[in-house]
Amino acid sequence: MDDNVEDCPVCFITFDDTLRRPRTLPCGHTLCSPCIDGLKQQDAVTCPTCRASHAVPGAGHFPISYITEDFIRGLRGLASLPAEPGKQAAPPVRRPAPKATTGLSKRAQSLLQEQEATVLAAIRSCQEEQSQLAEYLTTLGGWSSRQQRLQDELWALVDQSKSALEAVRREESRVEGRQEEVWQKEQQLHAALQSLRTAATRQEAYEVIEDTDHLMEKDSQRTGECLGVFPDVHAVTIVTRVACASRAALQAATTAAAATQAALEAAGTAAATSGDSSFPAAWAAASSIADRLQALLEPPLTAEDLHSLTQRARGLVEAGLVFAVQDVKGQTRHARISLEDGRLHLLSLQAQVPPPGAATLQMGEVVPAAPPCKVFLDMAWPGSAARRVLVSLPVDTPVGRQFMLLCSGQRGACYANTRLFKVMDEGQPGECGGRRLPDR
């Protein structure tokens, strides 16, 4: 495909003098203003053409390419000039020359037009996909540059570690050399001691004493030299600082690797194609690569988000895409969470599969282990609409706990889809119904 100087090489949209003004990066490549803004990562822009990284100017914008604007205006001016006499006007740029259809029937012309419309729609689809892929490639380029910088920093830390190791080895070599000197000095002192003990004449005694004085004088000088050169302050400083930095980097890398592995195990490699509910709800509804990427980068829904009813949590609940999950001995059941009258309601657990893109939370994160709490029952009499009964359990009692478990179905048995077999004290205060329960 031939490059067109009128189009941005990233989004393939024609430059204009308002929103999409051409701006030139220091490497010489020209992009439109929105694309450059989209490439900004931590006050830097990576050119999608040559991968060079440029710091964003203090004003926040790269200079406008007035040469490009003047050149485009010149091209447009030439395109608008009338054809010279005797010369046939060239067809418009990027538009096919009209075909002669005088010999075709209306039916054939209609079929051609329909087919042309289909092809044009497919071309637009290709262009849209190209635009999405280019945008995604730009994002990947930013990630690549960021990861390269991190890798360079890690290699710099590795180089520092190597330098620290070399400093330690040099210090070891100096210490070993000093050990050899001290050992030789000790041998000389032992020999002097033996001479002092075996001197038999006055002359020998004076000579041994004089030799010993010289030896002790040298020994005192060597002791002072030892304290002056050991330890090497530079080596010790480098080793301790690099060790602290390496330990912190290693701990952070280990933590990140563990979190990444846990996320991969939870999501699974085939989750994207199988509609795994562990993926964000926006993933299933995404209509573009950018939307899917944004959905993947969204943090998972938390119980705190649900209880606080953040904007995202409210939208998911109102769409019926939030479920509490319970897994007991390999059997998984889900309970949908709804929002009614501004309050969250947890329906009973059912052996159902959440829709694609649903957010799930553990049952223990959204349901208290015991009263106090409020529970509800949806009840209907023959020939009448269902009505909701709200029951408050203010105190933790065995009966209240059993009633809560029967409403939620956490232990298996549940009031859902059951019938009352009789009414006690009908029409009287304390009227209630009974449900046949299995003997225990």
Q: Give the confidence band of 337 by pLDDT, cuts at 50, 70, 90.
A: very high
For the stretch 380-403, pLDDT in tens is: 878 888 888 888 888 888 888 888
- pLDDT, mean of residues 17-38: 86
Is 100's pLDDT higher than 60? no
- pTM for the model stands at 0.44
Quote the pLDDT of residue 406. Answer: 85
pLDDT at position 301 is 85
Phi and psi angles of residue 414, each rounded to the nearest 5 degrees, phi first: -155, 150
Cα 327–Cα 330–Cα 336 angle in degrees, nearest 5? 35
Q: What is the pLDDT of residues 44-95, one digit of tens each?
A: 888 888 888 888 887 778 888 888 888 888 777 765 555 555 544 444 444 4
Mind giving me the DSSP string for 189-200? HHHHHHHHHH--
C-alpha atoms less than 13 angstroms from C-alpha of 265 in its C-beta half-sphere? 6
The pLDDT of 343-359, averaged and rounded, is 86
- For residue 303, give the amino acid letter: A
* Predicted local confidence at residue 69, as pLDDT: 83
Q: Which string of b and e fits 338-372 if b means at least 16 CB within 10 Å?
A: ebeeeebbbbbbeeeebeebbbbbebeebbeeebe
Residue 433: per-residue pLDDT: 58
Of the pLDDT bands very low, low, confident and very high (cuts 50, 70, 90), residue 232 is: confident
Q: Which two tokens stand for residue 120?
A: 């044009």
pLDDT band per the 50, 70, 90 thresholds, residue 1: very low
d(CA 325, CA 350): 10
Closest-CA residue to 372 (of 397, 345, 339)? 397
The pLDDT assigned to 336 comes to 92
* Cα separation values, 303 from 24, 332, 365, Å: 47, 19, 6
Q: Is the pLDDT at 148 greater than 80, yes or no?
A: yes
Cα(428)–Cα(426) distance, integer angstroms: 5
Residue 23, token pair as written in the block:
């701006």
What is the share, in percent, of the chain residues with pLDDT greater than 90? 7
Average pLDDT, the chain: 80
Domain boundary assignment for the chain: 161-266, 370-440
